[in-house]
Amino acid sequence: MAKEVLKNTNSVEILSDNLKVSSSVVNPGFTSERKVFNVSGRFKKDAPVVVGTLNLTSSENDSLSKKGNIVPNSSNSNLNSTLKLKLKNTTQDANGNTTGYLYNLVYTPKENTSKANPLKYSIRTGRRKIAPAIVGGISNIDFGTDKIHKNGETRRIIITGDKNIAFKLQINKIEDIKNSAGNIIASNYTSILNTNLSKKEKGLLNNVSTEVETINFNSITGRSELSCKTDVNGKFVLNQKFAKTSSTVRYSIHLNEDTILSSSFNKTAWNKEVIGFENYYTVFLTQRINPTLIIRATTDVQTYSINAQAVDLKDSGQIYQRKYIGNSNGSPKGDSRYTTITYNLAVVDASNNIAKRGSAYPNGDPVFDNVDRNNDGNIVSSWANTNFETNGGADILIWGGNVDDNITGDSGNDKATVTFNLQINSMGTEDTTIITLDLDNHIVIS
């Protein structure tokens, strides 16, 4: 058994009958202080097993956020073993506040791990104060829709509630860091808070002014924070500028949890479990550009041209592509949703011959799929990056793939064609999605 109290005052206890469990404190007393749990034992490979329990509890007068979770460390990239939390029991106080979660620790070993190559996870927990019933407070924050125009705009943000209610607000631009699969693994927040408040922005509604206490640098989050009060009419107005963008950008609005909220404030519309902002209510805004979908063909040789495209012998290969621009999660612009694409191939030197390579996948006529039908991580498709669940939502269909090396009038075997039909169901949400056909799997030069 090992138990530690975290910096946010939540407690974590790990129990196991069969494993060695210990804990330690790294960098005690510093801002980088961490509580580390070490679990070791022997297990049967590839068999999921409950190795123990994790008990997450709040301190007195506090409650827990919806759930705790564990996040794999980036150093796990060379390991296939996994550790998961499976909720076993929830504890609540008399007022329905969640004070404890009991989880089973489910471990699936895929290979040997060791002190030199351990499987690492971080435990994320949330905490909120148990406040007495409140009659008055902030009742609403109106920031418009959660979509920012790609050309930028100025948003009128209105905080409404009872008069003279103090609140703290942050507005940040987010830089998301993604892994090779396109999943967000970390996010950096930079303040874009409007620090040049005009008279109107200082809550001047109906000629009644309010108090802007200060705009401070919050040393905990490392960003600027607006500290204000509503006016005698219970309002505060802020005009926030969002700049034009050439790529998809996310923004966040954070309301400090110490703010007194009325019973009518819709907490469910706000996220209380954002890493680094556990003491804030958070909403996210997104600014998207029109996504680009690229249907690309590649080859590693320069011995033939694609649709009469000039061949640069200085390059190591060739790329031929068609671009489609459309609306996020919508169709491409114009009438290009359905089309037939043909690659006319012709040898550069008449001494060479061009022919269809093989007769069955991955050679022969190109085949298409966008679903992992065998649940083995592989999609049987001649085109790469077709899975709309992992490529940002770009959903296409391709059929009728054909390689023809028997061209009428071509007595020297100098020509071939690759033809297929394309249907674009959705452009997805990524700025640019590239779906690629490797012609070297279907064409051979001799």
Round to whole Å and give the CA distance between 320 and 173: 36
94 lies in the same domain as 7: yes
Q: Contact at 8 Å (CB) between 56 and 103? A: yes
User: Is beta strand 147-148 parallel, antiparallel or unpaired with respect to 280-287?
Assistant: parallel
User: Is beta strand 443-445 parallel, antiparallel or unpaired with respect to 354-356?
Assistant: antiparallel
Round to whole Å and give the CA distance between 332 and 388: 16
Which residues span the domain enclosing 86? Answer: 2-129
324 lies in the same domain as 407: yes
121 lies in the same domain as 171: no
Last residue of a domain, one of 106, 129, 152: 129
Sheet with 98-108: strands ordered across: 2-5, 11-15, 49-57, 98-108, 82-92
65 lies in the same domain as 111: yes
Which neighbouring-strand residues pair with 140? 160
313 lies in the same domain as 372: yes
Last residue of a domain, one of 79, 100, 129: 129
Residue 65's closest CA among 247, 333, 280? Answer: 280
Q: Contact at 8 Å (CB) between 311 and 317? A: no
Per-residue tokens: 251: 């923004």
Q: What is the CATH number of the domain that holds 203?
A: 2.60.40
Last residue of a domain, one of 94, 112, 129: 129
92 lies in the same domain as 59: yes
258 lies in the same domain as 315: no
Residue 141's closest CA among 165, 172, 106? Answer: 165
Which neighbouring-strand residues pair with 168? 227
Please tell me whether the peptide bond between 132 and the residue prior to it is cis, using omega within 30 degrees of 0: no
> Would you give per-residue pLDDT tens digits along the chain (446 residues)?
889 888 888 899 999 988 899 999 988 888 888 899 988 888 889 999 999 999 999 988 888 877 878 888 888 888 899 999 999 999 998 778 899 999 999 999 999 888 888 999 988 888 888 766 445 899 999 999 999 998 999 999 999 999 889 999 999 999 988 877 667 888 899 999 876 654 444 443 333 334 444 556 565 666 788 888 888 889 998 889 999 998 889 999 999 999 999 989 999 999 999 988 999 999 999 998 889 999 999 999 999 999 999 988 777 899 999 999 988 888 888 767 899 999 999 999 999 999 999 989 999 999 999 998 888 888 999 999 999 988 889 999 999 999 999 999 998 899 999 999 999 999 998 888 999 999 999 999 99
263 lies in the same domain as 196: yes
* pTM for the whole structure: 0.52
Q: Contact at 8 Å (CB) between 191 and 172? A: yes
- Residue 46 falls in which region: left (phi positive, over 0), alpha (psi -120 to 50) or beta: left
272 lies in the same domain as 384: no
146 lies in the same domain as 273: yes
Kind plus residue range of the DSSP H or E element containing 175: strand 166-178
270 lies in the same domain as 355: no
314 lies in the same domain as 436: yes
Number of domains in the chain: 3
